[in-house]
Each structure stands twice: as structure tokens, then as C-alpha cells.
Structure 1
Amino acid sequence: MKVVVDASNVAHHKKNENGQPQMSNILAAVKALEESEDEFVIIADASLRHDIDDKEKFLKLLESENVEEVPAGNDADHFILDIATRERAKILSNDKFRDYAAEFRNISSMRIPFIIDNGRLTFGKPKKPKKDKNILQHICDEIIKELNFKKWEIYTGKEGLEISPLNIAKQAIIRIDNENNAESKLENIFAKIPMFNKIVEMVDDVEIAAPYVIFVLVHPKDYKIAVKNAGNISVTVADRLGLEKKPLIAVRNDLFTKPGTFELNILLADEVTQSAPYNVLVRVSEHDEVFIKKNSRNIASTIAGRLGSWKFPFVSVKPDMLLEKPGQFEIELEKGSGLDD
């Protein structure tokens, strides 16, 4: 971790009996940072050399490579904030820098408060910025908007039905039957649907000429149950609708779907694309980088399932210094062939 030491604030933390800022406070900060093995630079206000109690030690400190004195005529607080922002560093200071909140919007999370007791400096915990709990959904929403703008059709259902193999089969039958304008009443079909645990036949060989592809969109926690019953769902749908070919079942993790629910994106086989038309670059703040990288495949799965493509788009995540707050991100679509699912 990089740390910028606000030398004036540290020195003034506890003044001596004559009301002078103390050199011992700065030395306590140096010792604490050296013990923590953090990289640090000390920034001293130009006036501090005149006010500090031990001027000789302070002038010697100024000769060190990692100590810098604010040039005369410059605002010391602004100078410190500017360096910390450029270096993506924390600031060791009890100053809250309220006068600069409009220009430097992430001060509370940059600042490391401290206390000095019996000559020893102890770090406080910097306030963590509030994170966007729904950032993954917001990223997917933005990608979908971009794809819509480029005239790609995207499945947008987000209500979700209670997940079970039987409910998935029922919903698939309803949707396909409605699309085909079948005259038979679905109540008769449902009355004859066998229980799934009694279905013995499983689909071992996927038939390429299947008329439909059913993308089952589920929360990652429900992925296994959907995959486990994919064969039974396919057999049941084909049998009850009298299809010559069994539909293909493609289960996809979907970030819009709540645990315990599912959505279906049903397409004719010739409507399914082999690859996603675009790969995705997501620029994020450093606060969200690790989390979004960890979930990049779920983002890719969500887009593939709602777009109706076999291969996932490649989702790359890059930190961007201009995106300072948690929850900030930018999306860029790039032509590409995508990844295998």
C-alpha cells in the first residue's frame, strides 16, 4: 500500500508544552509505516520547518529521498490530495479535507486516521466506500442496452417462476404451444405429464436437427439442478407436444434471476447464433475490480443466454483511475468470436 504522510497534521496531533508541533510524532509515523512495510512519502508544509520543536532533526529529515516540502505559495492540503490521487495512495492524516470534497470525491476512503499514545502511532481504519450491491446486474443491463442499440434482439424477462423440473417443462410447453397456435388445450397435456422421477429414458445423444433450443436461465445456485434434469425436460416437452426432434436444453447462469426461480429464452434452432457478436470490455473502479473479474463468466453467461448464442462473449475487466467511486463502470463492445460455454 502506498501512503502519503501529512507531516503537518501528524506533527500537530499532540503539541509539546510550549504549543509547538512535535518532531517525535513524525518519527512515530515513520516507524509505524516501516514496521508495516508500506511504501510512503512524507509531505511537509513549507511553514512546518519554522514551527516544529526540533528544527535540526526536521531539516535532516528533509534530506531524505521520500520527504518532500510543499513549494512556497502552494496549498499544502491540495498538494497532498493531488499526489495521493495520482499515485492511488492513502493519506495518513486526521484532517478530513472538507474544503476539497467537491474536487476530490473519495477523500473519506483515502484517509487513514491515527492516534499517538506513549510515543507510538496506531493506524485507524479508513472508511470503506459504499459499494453497489447490484453492480453485476447494472453492467449486464448496460451491455443489453448497447446490443439493443446495435439492433440485436435480447430476451428481457426478469420476473422469474419457481424453479422445478416440472415447472420448467410446463412453461416450455406453454410457450412453444402458444407460438405454434396449437388448438389442443394445455390442461389435458398437464394432466398426463408423468412425474420426473419416473422418467427413465435420458437423452444421451443430442440431436443437431432439434427444432427448438430452450435456454434455461437460472441463478448460479440453481445451475446443478437444472443441468441434472435437462434430459428429462427435453423428453417431456417433445413427447407432450408431439415433436419429432427433442429440443436442446441449454442451462445458463443468469444474474437477473433470483435464487429458486428461472426464465426461459426459447428460440428456433436456426435463430441461435454460434458465437456472440461482440466481446465486452468493462472498465471499473479499483474498488470493484476483483469482484467483477471473479464474476466475469457469469456476466458472459447472462448475455449469451439472453442473446441466444452457443458461445459466451469474452468479458475483460480493467481498472480505470478515472472511475473513482465504487459502482462506476464503462462498457465497450468489441467485435469477437466469443468463448465456448
Structure 2
Amino acid sequence: MSSAESILDDWEDLASRAGTVFSSRPSFVLNVAGALRLNVRFVVVRRGCRVVALAPLDTVRRGPFVLAKVVGSTLGVPLEFLSDDEEASDVLLGGVADQGWMLTGDSMIANDPTVVRLGRHGAWDADALVRERVPVVVLRPGDTASSIRSAKSLKRLRQYRSKIERQSEYRVEQIRDVAHLDARWNDIVSLAADSVEGTDKVNYLVAPHGEFARDFLRSEARAGRLCIAGLVVDGRWVAHEIGVRTHRRMEGWLTHYDPSIGKLQPGHQLIEWFADTHDRLGVVELDQGVGVNKIKSVWANAGVRRIAGDGGSEGLVALWVHEVGVTQPSFDSGPNPLGAAQSGRAGPRSMISAAAPAGNRWRFATASRDTARDPAKFR
């Protein structure tokens, strides 16, 4: 393969079958790679003519070795390897090991089949530690905010809204399409800047991330997956939750609000709106994004476990783990989700042949894209 563009259709198809988060889609990966000028190699596994596993890796030389980072690392989003099944995952991991690369990814999902297989693969020496949990709200059809929070808590939120409404115009504005996103973009960017000023938070809506963020969100809007909820007071855009839908999950990516309206409790107001609107949005789960705070915790009724660790075919591996159903998120290191560390190295034998099950025809390939010279975009 000569370029990433040659696998776009197959990639989209695989992401729609096996993907669980937006960060594994071309719309995210290619925009990140282009904006950050990454040197990306795509490790692709085919069964016959069908792409069954894929990993986009940012390759960086570190002295005598090459470090392969899962694209999206350090951006504060959960990551995954796309794979149809365990056999495809084994071949993918064998292919990476055959390159002699060290593998790293700082936010991998725990029950991702390839992460699970990594801990059992003979070519890799892997270890991982639980780092944090991400709060999740699970909603059954017909549920509303009252299914999660007490009547007293919701009454208090209504009182805050009523106080604003007596003095000003108050409404929730929903953004789903490209034209609406473009019309509000300056408001969204300005609010984000005001929200993070004086804090140690990263603003992903300005350089060097701003270009990928806007192009990514425009792509998601065209695909019908974008959902931004904004609070508007007296015509001013004062708070927003930027969400992207994956199947029946709404992934909360970025939340910002004007500090001057803190007494309205905008974070709670936005989550309440999502809970009350989830049936219309077609989702049954709200992933509140990376990072735990008091607002997220009081709404969460499930959790996602995150990990980081080390190992490798000849070096390091750092990974996430994703565990749903933890009703009380905690921050202990926890057990190694990969099980006992697997020792071994990629030797002279073909890891592709060794991992491929009998009776299946496998092909392994890598496609490179030097985005520092030729930025890739997916619009």
C-alpha cells in the first residue's frame, strides 16, 4: 500500500463493526496526524480481501530503536486497536513485533480484544497498572435524570434555572450539523479559552490541536454523530458539552463554561439535559470523558478503568484498560489487567505465520504516511 487513502473505505467499515470509541475512526486519526505532523505507519491485517485488524502508529526514532505510539496518545481520549477477533489481534501484534518496534499507548481500553491478547502474546513482554477510572452514566430506554438523581437534587437544579429565567433568557441549544457548528465555532473557541485561562488544563480547540478538532468535529457532523449541547443565557454562549456518538454511546469529549455562571451549576445542567434527552438522541450510555471530578461522580452509575504500564517486544508498552460496571470509581492501582507479564521476544521466526490459524489466509502489510511532509486530512 502506498498511502492511508487506499484503506479508508476498509478502515471505515472495520471501525463501524469493531470500534467502540471515536478515536479509532479515520476522522479522528487522520486529522490528528495532519495537525500534529506525525509520521504515521498503518499496520493492517487482511483475511482474504477483508481488513480485520488495523493500528495507526506514530513512529519516532529514539537512538537505536523505534518507538511506535498509538495515534491519540497524550490527547486525553480512550484509545483502542481495531480488530474483528482474537485471531486478527494476534496477527496484528505479531506484525508489530516483527518490525522490531517498541509499542506505547497511554490510554488504551481494557476490554479491547487486542489489549487482552497483548498480555498473552508470546512475542511481547507486557505489564500494566490501573491509573484511573472514567465515570459513565448508563440509561435504559425511558430513563430520565430522575432515574439517577434524587428529587431533592433535581429540584435544586430547577431552582437555579428558574432564578436565571426570571432575569434573563435561558435555553439549551443543540448542534448537530456542519453549518450550525461553523456558525457557533467562534463562540465555542472563545468560551474554551475563557474556561481554561489560569488553569493547567489543555485547550484542545486552539493550536496545535485546534485544526484537528474543528475538522474532526465537522467530519462527525457530516456523519450524523455530532452532538454539542450549549447553554445560552441572554444570547451568550456560556457553557457547552461536546459529545460524539459511537453506536448507542455518547462520548463526552470537552466541557467548558464561563466562570461567571458557576452558580447555575452548568456541568450538572448539561448532564441532566443529556439524561432527559438520551432517548431522542438514540443513546443508552453517556461516557463523561477522561478525568474524575465531583460533578461526574455524583451522576455516574458505572465506570471505566484506565491503566498505564510497561513491557515490549524489545522495550516499553504503556496501556489503558476499560472496565464497565464499577459503580463506585476508586483510584487504587488495582490488579494488572493483562494478567501475569508475558516474557519473550520477536525472534527470527515469522510471527505472522505463527499467529495465523490453520485454514485462514492472512496478509500483513504496513502503509506509511509522513504527515510532516504530506499532511493527511479527513474532512
Q: TM-score with structure 1 length normalisation? A: 0.20
Larger radius of gyration: 1
The one of the two structures with greater contact order (alpha-carbon pairs below 8 A, sep at least 6) is 2
TM-score (ref. length: structure 2): 0.19
More strand by share: 2
